[in-house]
Amino acid sequence: MCLGIPGRIVAITDADKMLAMVDVSGVRRSVDVVCVAEPGEPLEALIGVWVLVHVGFAMSRIDEAEAAATLKVLAEIGELDGEMDAIRTGSVEALPSLPVSQAN
Amino acid sequence: MRFVDEFRDPALAAGLVREIGVLAARLERGREHPVAVMEVCGGHTHAIFRYGLEGLLPDIIEFVHGPGCPVCVLPMGRVDDCVAIAERPEVIFATFGDAMRVPGSRKSLLQAKADGADVRMVYSPLDALELARRNPDRHVVFFGLGFETTMPSTALTVLRAAREAVTNFSLFCNHITIIPTLRALLEQPDFGIDGFIGPGHVSMVIGTAPYRFIAEEFGRPLVVAGFEPIDLLQSLLMVLRQMALGEARIENQYARVVPEAGNPAALAAVAQVYEPRATFEWRGLGSIAGSGVRLREAYAAFDAEKRFSVPDVKVADPDACRCGEVLTGAVKPWACPVFGTGCTPEMPLGALMVSSEGACAAYYQYGGMRGAA
């Protein structure tokens, strides 16, 4: 929850709502990019950029080497699996097939 | 030095350890106490143990594990409030997974869920908002928890809910801020900490300027650090260098992620949505003035505390636990009578055993019993 996890922005999903699709170690989810967007720059400029993602919010732009080093530390201190699990199982937005959405 | 081999740059790590040794020897002269350096962030605590950094350092250097694990400092009474809200039939209670096992005086959120409360583990507050959109006949409460690292995420989610006029979403705000907490620690009469390793991801949001009082008023150095073992060794060295020169400054070892001014968009959202509370209670530390935030009046419609009358009863920690003394660095976890016996990660009594970033859980997991014999 407190340690960010590196991911790469692969698409802008909703420019009006400042949402982008981020690939985190092969798992994709929708992420808020308000905190890494450059004022006056089109959001598309973020595609391909590595970011540190905290609970669904991109909080800092990082480079690829920093992303790799951070993933390594997270794996070594045993936090990576838990964080990936949380993204996989706790992402309501990114998983439209969850039973809750079928009810609507 | 078997641990050094797995570092990104073993030669650099070995060089840092050597330099630390030279400085430590110089600082040791005429000192009666160890050089105590507090790492504020629970993530740093975890990394220090995982990489066995204490074992690489001279005995005179002592890491003291600070209060920077938001799950660990959550008082029992607030967990009881969460359970009370979650047990309401109309409520879906959404939370980060980390908070599920924190003991309350009656039960944890995990036990409340087992007893039938609709508690959902989500990855992001955005997911809680999505639950609200998908369940218009229910009210979704998100348990807002954490320091400045997670505060922008809940603030931005409340702003999103306000923009979309979502009426069945609210936040149970338990965010805490690091600066008043550090000040409260420093104002303790016998606070024996010589310097600080500053939190990386909190600083990414708030920048480095808010720490200046630590150097200017209290004469202690603070170095904001990254999470790799090399980062921690380098930051420790920077603290020791300042001490050896008789200086006290705020330095930033983690500049590749932490801008000096922090993150302006995140800070703006936090300032728009939150205001300081007069006081907030911490597990083990008691009440600290100005250390918590609440939603501003303009966002009262999204404030779970206004929507539901939460019991807000203060509950004392279990008598046997010495969480408070561990949190302030006064004692090591193994000095607590229930450490590893009545209190384990499987059946935690105190919150420091719940999160992997808590000092007790780290000692338990990595066998940090130095000095226990």
Separation CA B91–CA B82 (nearest Å)? 11
- What pLDDT score was predicted for residue A43? 95
Helix axis angle for B125-134 and B151-163, nearest 10°, is 30
Q: What pLDDT sits at residue B315?
A: 80
Of B96, B257, B266, the CB nearest to A35: B266
Per-residue model confidence (pLDDT) at position B6: 64
Q: Is A66 helix (H, G, I), strand (E, B) or coil?
A: helix
Name the average pLDDT for chain B. 91
* pLDDT tens column, B256-310: 999 999 999 999 999 999 999 999 998 878 899 999 999 999 999 999 999 998 8
Residue of A nearest to B124 (CA): A55
Name residues 332-371 of chain B within 8 A of A (Cβ).
Answer: 356-357
Inform me whether the pLDDT recorded for A99 exceeds 60: no
- Whether the per-residue pLDDT at B23 is higher than 80: the answer is yes
Contacts of A55 in chain B (CB under 8 A): 96, 123-125, 150, 153
Distance of alpha carbon B238 from alpha carbon B233, whole angstroms: 9
Per-residue pLDDT of B306-324, as tens digits, reads 999 887 777 877 778 888 8
pLDDT tens-place string over residues B132-164: 999 999 999 999 999 999 999 999 999 999 999
Token couple for B79: 């967990």
CA distance B235 to A23: 31
Share of chain B above pLDDT 90, in %: 70
Residue, of B295 and B367, whose pLDDT is higher: B295
> Which chain A residues touch B227 with a CB distance below 8 Å?
3, 70, 73
* Distance (Å) from the alpha carbon of B6 to chain A's nearest alpha carbon: 10
ipTM: 0.91
pLDDT at res. B329: 76
Evaluate whether B260 touches B209 at the Cβ level (below 8 Å): yes
DSSP class of residue A9? E
Mean pLDDT of A24-42: 94
What pLDDT score does B297 carry? 98
Q: How many helices (H) and strands (E) does chain A have?
A: 3, 5
Q: Are B172 and B305 in contact (CB under 8 A)?
A: yes
What is the rounded CA–CA span in Å between residue B103 and residue B87?
16
Q: What is the pLDDT of residue A104?
A: 34
Q: Which residues of B touch A28 (CB under 8 A)?
A: none
Task: Output the pLDDT for position B325.
Answer: 83
pLDDT in tens, B107-116: 999 999 999 9
DSSP conformation class of A73: H
The reported pLDDT for the residue numbered B350 is 79
pLDDT of residue B328: 76
What pLDDT, on the 0 to 100 scale, is given for residue B80? 94
Inform me whether the pLDDT recorded for B373 exceeds 50. no
Least confident interval from A72-86, B9-23, B201-215, B340-354? B340-354
The pLDDT value given to residue A102: 35
pLDDT bin (cut points 50, 70, 90) of residue B346 is: confident
Cα–Cα–Cα angle for B145, B233, A77, nearest 5°? 50
Q: What is the pLDDT of residue B69?
A: 84
Q: Please indicate, yes or no, whether the overall pTM of this predicted structure exceeds 0.95.
A: no
* CB-CB under 8 Å, B125 with A56: yes
State pLDDT tens for residues B76-133. Answer: 899 999 999 999 999 999 999 989 988 888 999 999 999 999 999 999 999 999 999 9
CA distances for A21 relative to A37, A50, B151, B173, B366, angstroms:
14, 12, 22, 28, 37
Q: Does B178 touch chain A (CB under 8 A)?
A: no
DSSP A78-99: T-HHHHHHHHHHH-TTT-TTSH
Residues in B 41-60 with any Cβ partner in A closer than 8 A: 41-43, 46-47, 50-51
